[in-house]
Chains A and B, each alone.
Chain A
Amino acid sequence: MAQASPPADDASDPALLARYARGDLAAARMLTARLGPRILGFATRMLGDRAEAEDVTQETMLRLWRVAPDWQAGQAQVSTWAFRVAANLCTDRLRRRQSVALDAVAEPPDDAPGAVATLIAADRDAALQAALAALPDRQRQAVVLRHIEGLSNPEIAQIMDLGVEAVESLTARGKRALAATLAGRRDELGYTDD
């Protein structure tokens, strides 16, 4: 059998999925490199637990491999589909939790000389993560997808199975709550110098 040429870097996600469905593992590697970090970042923000987020990422990609032979071109964006699967997996895990453990938020790194900027960034990120964790799940999901993952409101509406206006409302309420929580920490974390 003739060896297929490797997929091009600019190949679309559906094209890569179709290549995988025809037996091309290189296409699966490219899809993993594109989608994996985004799903992992989203799941980490949603769950506040890196190990659980990694499991969600693996399970999301596994479901993508399984659906590949039946994928209908044009049915949805592959990334939107993957975020929807990941969001549902996160929701299932959050529901199973009896309460959110306070120590689930990542610890800031230890002091290290010459790394002030890194420490401030890590502190800022930890503060944002703590504020996100205090939001209701749906608000957190909408804010993370919109403002950290950079998805459009119609894409988020598909992922969350909502109308666009409902997404806008969730995002606005989430941002107001975040702003109220973080306002008191701006000076502490150096945002007045920005």
Chain B
Amino acid sequence: MTDRHDRTDDLLDGWFQTARANTPGLPAELTARIAADAAAHLPRQHAGLSALIAALGGWRPLAGMAAAGVAGMWIGAFPPDAVSDLTGALLGESVEVDFSDLYALADDTWFDGIEG
């Protein structure tokens, strides 16, 4: 079996050498077509977005962040009763502040100082 393979190899070796020597070069026109494809598909235009997404950990964490954001906006716009009760308990009752005394104080000190 091995001898048979060797004889076959010997017989074909010259043919294969000739074929290897005749390997075609890349024609200029084909090189230009391939170069045009490479330029058209250059990934550069997406590099900024890709880098940002990669920095945030990829698409999956980004989708989670987006879902959390939407849920937060929804709760803020339409708070359930439980949330309203909770915020009321945490922040206490509303307080009214009258700023008229502060204005009066500012008039006395500020304007007196300017006028000398």
Complex interface residues of chain A between 119 and 163 (CB less than 8 A to chain B) = 121-122, 124-125, 127-128, 147-148, 150
Q: Which of B30, B42, B50 contacts A54 (CB 8 A)?
A: B30
Size band of the interface chain B makes with A = 20 to 34
Count of chain A residues near B, Cβ 8 A = 45
Contact with B along A45-62 (1 / 0, CB 8 A): 100001000100110011
Q: Are B38 and A20 in touch, CB under 8 angstroms?
A: yes
A141–chain B nearest beta-carbon distance, Å: 15
Q: Are A182 and B35 in touch, CB under 8 angstroms?
A: no
A1–chain B nearest beta-carbon distance, Å: 10
Q: Are A58 and B25 in touch, CB under 8 angstroms?
A: no
* Number of cross-chain contacts by CB at 8 Å: 110
Of B16-24, B58-66, B82-90, B91-99, which stretch is located at the interface?
B16-24
Q: Are A40 and B47 in touch, CB under 8 angstroms?
A: no
CA of A150 to CA of B16, assembled, Å: 10
Q: Which residues of B contact A121 (CB under 8 A)?
A: 18, 21-22
B6–chain A nearest beta-carbon distance, Å: 11
Q: Are A68 and B43 in touch, CB under 8 angstroms?
A: yes
B94–chain A nearest beta-carbon distance, Å: 55
Instruction: Verify if A96 is at the interface (C-beta below 8 Å from B).
Output: no
Q: Which residues of A contact B9 (CB under 8 A)?
A: 175
Assuming A44-B24, A147-B16, is B42 touching A25 (CB within 8 A)?
yes
A187–chain B nearest beta-carbon distance, Å: 13
Q: Which of A28, A54, A172, A182 contacts B5 (CB 8 A)?
A: A172
Instruction: Verify if B8 is at the interface (C-beta below 8 Å from A).
Output: yes
Complex interface residues of chain B between 1 and 33 (CB less than 8 A to chain A) = 5, 8-9, 11-12, 14-16, 18-27, 30-31, 33
Complex interface residues of chain A between 29 and 45 (CB less than 8 A to chain B) = 29, 32-33, 36-38, 40-41, 44-45
Contact with A along B49-80 (1 / 0, CB 8 A): 01000000000000000000000000000000
Instruction: Verify if B39 is at the interface (C-beta below 8 Å from A).
Output: yes
Q: Would you list the 3 A-B pairs with minimal beta carbon distance, nearest first?
A: A23-B44, A28-B38, A65-B41
Interface residues, chain B, CB within 8 Å of chain A? 5, 8-9, 11-12, 14-16, 18-27, 30-31, 33-35, 37-39, 41-44, 46-47, 50
10 residue pairs bridging A and B, Cβ less than 8 Å apart: A20-B42, A36-B26, A37-B25, A54-B30, A57-B34, A65-B37, A122-B22, A128-B19, A148-B23, A183-B11
